Amino acid sequence: MKDKRSIYNKEIAELVTKIKKTANENGIPFFFAAAVKDGSDGRYYIESDCLLPEMFGYDINPNDTRFADFSNILSKEFTTRPITGNDAISVEDLAINDDFAGLDLGEE
């Protein structure tokens, strides 16, 4: 993918801001992410924004991690990897991710 950041900034960013404002005014949880550039290292650079359900005081089933999973993309970049049959995040996934460095993973 070619670098699409200028297109995003010129044509999309303002629309996302308007959608977020309307969603916020009406208590609508919102998540948006767009891959705008890929790097030679396999990382996609992301423009993203969200209004999490918790921000509106909504009760959420603790087993429903969809918004939490989406919000993890907000770090602005993520690495894709082939899907393996088990789409759950494993302790091994956490252990190799720098964002979780120093986290007690319960391993001995």
Residue recorded with tokens 């120093």 = 102
Q: Which of 82, 70, 83, 88 is nearest to 34 (CA)?
A: 70
Three-state SS sequence of 31-62? EEEEEEEECCCCEEEEEEEEECHHHHCCCCCC
Handedness of CA 62, 44, 20, 99 (dihedral sign): positive
pLDDT in tens, 25-83: 999 998 888 888 887 776 778 888 888 888 888 887 877 777 777 766 665 445 544 44
Residue 107 maps to a domain: no
Residue 53, in any domain of the structure: yes
Name which residue leads in pLDDT, 21 or 57: 21
- 106 inside domain: no
Number of domains into which the chain is organized: 1
Residue 28 near residue 51, CB atoms below 8 Å: yes
- Structural domain of 39: 5-100
* Token output for 1: 């993918």
Report the predicted TM-score, pTM, of the whole model to 2 decimal places: 0.59
**Which two tokens mark 53?**
């359900």
Assigned domain for 105 exists: no
Mean pLDDT of 76-97: 52
101: left (phi over 0), alpha (psi -120 to 50) or beta: beta
In a domain, 71, yes or no: yes
